[in-house]
Chains A and B, each alone.
Chain A
């Protein structure tokens, strides 16, 4: 283990050293860590202070759905392309070395565990809200986060086994896919049974999702059961489920080692694929864009059909949108956003129907918050940031501000289009005031503008940060600060004057503030293309 131990020690040590040489990155890590800690502490304090407690079955249902999603999506992906815990340097140096392949596998597993833990820390962002709404303790929250980490990790290990066992044999792959599909199908059958017994009621569905039958589902169900048994102080039941999980995980690892000690070939393809994605990310393309490389794109209509000088960037982005989603500005993200908003607002409307009257204006406001959240994730890797890693935007002989504005225009238009579609539908479904819908659509659009301006600001201040997770959190923090004055002004109007003034007026301060602050940031960063270095 000497060589591998040395490698791990050095990797950790050099990682820290590198961080010390990059103060901005270090500050970012500290801020993010502090943010996580504050979220947990704040959640712990506010949880005890909260009077109203939401039904914990919502949490159980959502948590199980999340675990099933993680498990199945990882397994499907793993079945298609395999899974890997290794980097290209591991392949080039370790695989060809005389070290035992099993030791190398253990090294890979430890590394993977580390990165899975970091990846799943995003859940901490939701901890305060969850702890407040469901009155759960910090320890309970940590148990939930650890549960997600365990499922994500075991999904990786299981993917490796599946890929190795199926050996890309079509028949075996079909069988394995069928088995994976059985997981959500089982969950759906339990829900169907509940429907058959009690009819279509939210209460029956929640009881079914939180019920013990769901805990029979391998891995996702066991972990969900164990976590909520711990939360409910049922330690014996929790230990049984954890025991089953550990045995299963050990079984998977042993089966993998026994089945085919020569796993190098199995992981090579995925390692190379991951390497290509990492290189793409380093050269600025997002992983989503890199993934496009493996997606078949049908070229029907060709040509930019417009643009002259700087405006060519806009026409290019429109063409790229059409290639990805057929229609410009309206794509899968619009449909997904609409679906999420409708489902959540319907649940809320149903849930609160008996207790207090949920007005259409309030439901539209909830949709606006959800859409803003979804939109934010869509915008983080917008087309304009991809432009910065190719030389064209620097080389084209046009004024920098002109190039910047044309390059961000599609990203600015998209949230407005999403807003118009979303709030037209929501307004029709909940029979709301059209003016409130217009106000919400404008709010979403200007919020999108604020996202883009923060993204421009981040490029101006830090250049490109490789860690996408960190970028997402940084954006979120800065964005909160930037949009806060508008939100406070709108909230003040709502709380003080709402019955006297129409609801749509309450959105105006936020709309104007978002637009104003975005324009201000664009103006301040107008020379970004002059001063930014292309990432090499």
Chain B
């Protein structure tokens, strides 16, 4: 389980995250959605322990910067950061050893197979295309079998096969009881996945909706999003057309 309580992240005068609180439960996929600059990536990075912040974040009941919490979560960054001088296989070995994953070899083979990276095992990190780097990043994050998975714009740069495979993996992880938090501004890409939507605006959580609530209201995720962020379920384009 992931619990975020009164998270505030300030850069000088700018509050990138302003007192945000939410919980994501095991077996649930939560999507952190919002316009550009809403503070989604900052929130994810705070949760991953990469940024300093005020407030409390617990992962599986442990403070997010503790060793116990770090054992529990996997993080897929927005910009993949492969190690230039290590091959794909060595990335997996590095993560396997650093995270003390006993059977890392078998797990690594399985992940590389699924993400179509098996034939790239001997390629160096610097030789991979952006999409390949992203796939490698996903494989590295999933290798220690995390219970909480943080994905920051995970579908950008992936080819259609990888997008399909990642979505399938997310569903499988959800079935297995993992807690998943996905940050994105591409609503279409997560429309069939989400259980809980955390809608962010200007660094704050503007609304939290479950799939059940949205479906009962007769709207879809996109309509709910525009309703909350712009006061208009049709979005800006239709609004201007109406004015015209």
**Chain A residues proximal to chain B, CB less than 8 Å:** 21, 283, 285, 289, 292-293, 297, 299, 302-304, 306-310, 312-313, 315-316, 319-320, 323-324, 389-392, 394-399, 530-531, 533-534, 536
Contacts and interface: CB of A to CB of B under 8 A. Distances in A.
B104 to A, nearest CB: 11
B94 A533 contact: no
A293 B83 CA distance: 11
Contact of A293 (B84, B89, B95): B84
Contacts of A396: 70, 98-99
Which of B48, B83, B86, B97 has the most CB atoms of chain A within a 10 A radius of its CB?
A: B97
23 contacts: A21-B12, A283-B81, A297-B85, A302-B90, A304-B93, A307-B97, A308-B100, A312-B94, A316-B94, A320-B85, A320-B86, A390-B83, A391-B77, A391-B81, A392-B83, A392-B94, A394-B49, A396-B98, A397-B99, A398-B98, A530-B65, A531-B52, A536-B45
A299 B87 contact: yes
A395 B97 contact: no
A386 B99 CA distance: 20
A536 B68 CA distance: 25
A315 B51 contact: no
The size bracket of the interface on B is 20 to 34
Given A307-B98, A310-B98, A320-B83, 13 more contacts: A283-B79, A289-B84, A299-B122, A299-B124, A302-B90, A304-B97, A312-B97, A319-B90, A390-B83, A391-B50, A397-B69, A397-B99, A398-B98
Nearest to A317: B85
B99 A302 contact: no
Contacts of B93: 303-304
B112 to A, nearest CB: 14
A534 B65 CA distance: 13
Contacts of B84: 285, 289, 292-293
Contact of A309 (B81, B89, B98): B98
A312 B98 contact: yes
Nearest to B49: A394
A42 B46 CA distance: 49
A324 B81 contact: no
Contacts of B50: 391, 394, 533-534
A313 B52 CA distance: 23
Contacts of A323: 85
Contacts of B67: 397-399
A323 B93 CA distance: 16
Nearest to B74: A395
Nearest to A532: B52
A292 B94 contact: no
A390 B95 CA distance: 13
Given A304-B90, A304-B93, A397-B67, A390 B81 contact: yes
A316 B124 CA distance: 14
- Give 3 closest A-B pairs by Cβ, nearest first: A397-B70, A312-B98, A534-B50
A391 B48 contact: yes
A257 B22 CA distance: 62
B86 A319 contact: yes
Which of B84, B87, B89, B95 has the most CB atoms of chain A within a 10 A radius of its CB?
A: B84
Contacts of A531: 52
Contacts of A293: 84, 126
A310 to B, nearest CB: 7
Given A309-B98, A312-B97, A533 B87 contact: no
A302 B98 contact: no
